[in-house]
Chain A
């Protein structure tokens, strides 16, 4: 029992600690739960005050106080201790065999083909993906077939309130749900699962979480204003970043290809991404990203039995093909992931100390991240 004034863990605190500090990731975990929060063009907006002392908005948010050990214990049965790419059973390269997925996908089409496979095999009955509307604004969408999957393939490098669709959906009894999410979103899902508040959400029906590698996402409104200025009023069709070392941001607008330096768009990275420890979406069954230097292939990190099983069946069914990930690529992946954690700690240190961060890490773990991450690449 606490004494004295109760510490607010509701909307009031969410506003003070996340929204006002511009730390919202726009993951959508707090949306469609109550009438006081709504998203608009990549921003979560508070409409009215809520005076509850505790709320799900605060409890599910990936940027409110979180005990990482507690979360990792619940999901993986172990503490937050595998500091490079998180708990991993296997790491490999993979790609979809059917070219329709590869053609539309940002890289190897593994995410789309696995969701399609899981739906066809009835491992899940619905998927929650993140398509973009005509203005490239991402939103959460419940999909039940191939057409929906194809519409969500690709990326606009902008985060969207995917999880809002989970909260909004009119789910039937025991319908199994698969979700593809960014690192902040898979953290929010894990928080939903571990929250002790009365849930009133279908989180227990989520049995497949596919995480996407992510180093940052862009803030929709200023980013789009920036793009609009550069494409001479043409309608933007596709965005892509070319592989390193070139790293050019390509914008296909009308039928013209505009090439912008990636540095030019860095100012639009959401501040919340700069405090994110997680590049590889650790709290998922499978994490999927690109492979450096291997166009058309995905890196796949298998994290849970569910993930392992799905991958095995998909491979057996000829949906995907896999290859071992080279040692070089693996090392590079781990370095990059650790570097993200390192940068967060550096940034927090500059801004008044790690103890003020939303997550708690033991001093030993902090020491390990700092020592194992090596020199920071600038």
Chain B
């Protein structure tokens, strides 16, 4: 249980980066918090939801990021402090509102935390959200460690109120998801009363005038950044090389420097207010070194902006060499680590140091192979999505017209790999599968003969697919939407959504019925249990072949991980070794070679399949697919 709610000033607690941000918001007296879940940001609002009752907050999982930001902006307009959190993709969704909110400004402190996912570990891209700060003329802070995450969150509310502008905080996975010591400060006791001041106007128009006002606010922000404690220099007065860094790059640089024992030769300029940059502060420190290396996650944001500042004053500063992503000293894709930073520094100054033995990677692989069962990235044991894709695979093959599946964002995105039998052929943004289906479904008039199928999860449907479905019916498209209703936002940690009958804080909520929505939108709707594989195959085939227009098939089956929490497994499953055909003609390891549920294991010694009791959830789907009826299920 998180300790973010305790009022224990001076106490040091172990917090995840996201919890530290949440704590900072609490110390700032936040009242309204909203988000759409998305890794690596989900724990910020998730943690606040747990203390909402006790602390008297409104915390909600909004239907999407734009709505979340609007909810929080309303609180700000009424004078309360509000926190909104999202992942980098989410900011694209919210950006339409954000790029008008900057013009209208706000009242109560409004902080928007965007957690980026360098390397796209749990994302469809690795976009760098910082560009939005520059685009929208908004102040941006980047925490480098856990204590700072908390302090910055708190400070961001102050800045926001002083400027009347939303403030962005950009975190990254390695800050949001790592844990470290955080010293707590006091929690505020007073509680302001919200009031919308009718004398105020929150109009983005006239745009030019408001744009001018925004620039003035940004100038003030720069002045505040000049004095910010989040910017500092550590190192010798005349370093051979100066590293300019922000966010997680600070810790990596520090670690590299300490390991190489290079503190006397290399200095680090650590910036926390990365937009607008404190120009004087940067120029002052640029004077220290002639060779400068930029260390930052994803895009050369800091790198380019510092170079801009330098360009304005180069006649004073003289010639300098800049290294980083542009010079290829630092990779411009993927995430960073101390080893990359070490190599970048070693490329620029001679320091003998080997970050790790040359054969380390090989030995690590060998050790892992010995200790861990070989499992590909894929669906969990008993995941209904595996059964769904199995049925889709069969149905499309039998249909014989080369139908294809348009993908969407969620656990089921894994349908692009072996776990989903390679069925999913596109992957873009939330709701894009249905949107693309709208388009493909118009191409039959030009001779497209292939059936069009889209997949979409329940949470994603509420988030972004609903407008696409309205569009489909209105414009007379022709496709089948498979609505994978597992009653959870599973990918991000089982947050409730409008279909689950529960709110973020655990109170009861009305269920927004998927079937009813789709019917109202004009679709032909049917519901099937994906665990009934053959019924699913037949239904998909029938819908593809016999029903024209917009079809929605709701595949209703709770996420296996959610089920495991509240119900016993459905079946006890075992393999009859006498019947198992193993690798011989008639089976050839269908269950472990193709179906590949992690609950099934191939016993090389006996040449038979077996059940991994530890992870089998007892869904019983494998007993349906076994050609020899060797996998038996019994009611548990």
Contact = CB atoms under 8 A, between A and B. Distances in A.
A183 B583 CA distance: 33
Contacts of B625: 35
A46 interface: yes
B586 interface: yes
A47 interface: yes
Interface string B579-607: 00001111110100010000000000000
B400 A56 contact: no
Contacts of A50: 588
Interface stretch (A37-45, A84-92, A151-159, A301-309): A37-45
Nearest to A34: B586
B585 A40 contact: no
A46 B585 CA distance: 15
B393 A47 contact: yes
A47 B394 contact: yes
Nearest to A59: B585
A197 B627 contact: no
B511 interface: no
Interface residues of A, number: 23
A34 B394 contact: no
Nearest to B398: A40
A268 B586 CA distance: 32
B394 A197 contact: no
Interface string B174-194: 000000000000000000000
A54 B588 CA distance: 11
Contact of A45 (B397, B585, B587, B590): B397
A34 B398 contact: no
A35 B393 contact: no
Interface string B290-303: 00000000000000
A198 B398 CA distance: 29
Nearest to B591: A35
B469 to A, nearest CB: 29
Most chain B CB atoms below 10 A, which of A10, A34, A52, A197: A34
Contacts of A336: none
Contact of B588 (A38, A40, A41, A51): A51
Contacts of B399: 40
Contact of A34 (B393, B421, B583, B588): B588
A34 B587 contact: yes
Nearest to A221: B400
Nearest to B626: A35
Contacts of A54: 585
Nearest to A55: B585
A46 B393 CA distance: 11
A40 B583 CA distance: 26
A71 interface: no
A355 interface: no
Contacts of A33: 585-586
A43 B586 contact: no
A50 to B, nearest CB: 5
A33 B594 CA distance: 17
Contacts of B594: 48
Nearest to A33: B586
Interface string A206-250: 000000000000000100000000000000000000000000000
Contacts of A147: none
B398 A38 contact: yes
Contacts of B393: 47-48
Contact of B585 (A47, A52, A221): A52
A38 B394 contact: yes
Contacts of B584: 198
Nearest to A48: B594
Contacts of A41: 398, 400
Contact of B627 (A35, A40, A55): A35
A47 to B, nearest CB: 5
Contact of B587 (A35, A51, A197): A35
A47 B590 CA distance: 11
Contacts of B588: 34, 36, 50-52
Nearest to B545: A41
Contacts of A34: 585-588, 627
Given A35-B590, A48-B594, A56 B585 contact: yes
Contact of A198 (B394, B585, B587): B585
A45 B400 contact: yes
A200 interface: yes
Most chain A CB atoms below 10 A, which of B541, B590, B625: B590
A303 B397 CA distance: 41
A10 B9 CA distance: 73
A211 to B, nearest CB: 27
Contacts of A221: 400
A46 B586 contact: no
Interface string B411-429: 0000000000100000000
A46 B397 contact: yes
A45 B421 CA distance: 16
Most chain B CB atoms below 10 A, which of A38, A40, A197, A221: A40
B535 to A, nearest CB: 16
B627 A43 contact: no
Interface in A11-61: 33-36, 38, 40-41, 43, 45-48, 50-52, 54-56
Given A34-B586, A50-B588, A197-B585, A45 B627 contact: no
A156 B541 CA distance: 23
A45 B398 contact: yes
A35 B592 CA distance: 13
B519 to A, nearest CB: 27
Contacts of A197: 585
A40 B393 CA distance: 14
Contacts of A40: 398-400, 541
A198 B541 CA distance: 35
Interface in B555-591: 583-588, 590
Interface of B: 393-394, 397-400, 421, 541, 583-588, 590, 594, 625, 627
4 cross-chain pairs, A with B, having the tightest CB-CB distances, nearest first: A40-B398, A35-B627, A35-B590, A55-B585
14 contacts: A34-B586, A34-B588, A35-B590, A35-B627, A36-B588, A40-B398, A40-B399, A45-B397, A46-B397, A47-B394, A48-B393, A48-B594, A54-B585, A200-B585
Given A48-B590, A200-B585, 9 more contacts: A10-B585, A34-B585, A38-B397, A40-B398, A43-B400, A47-B394, A47-B397, A48-B594, A198-B585
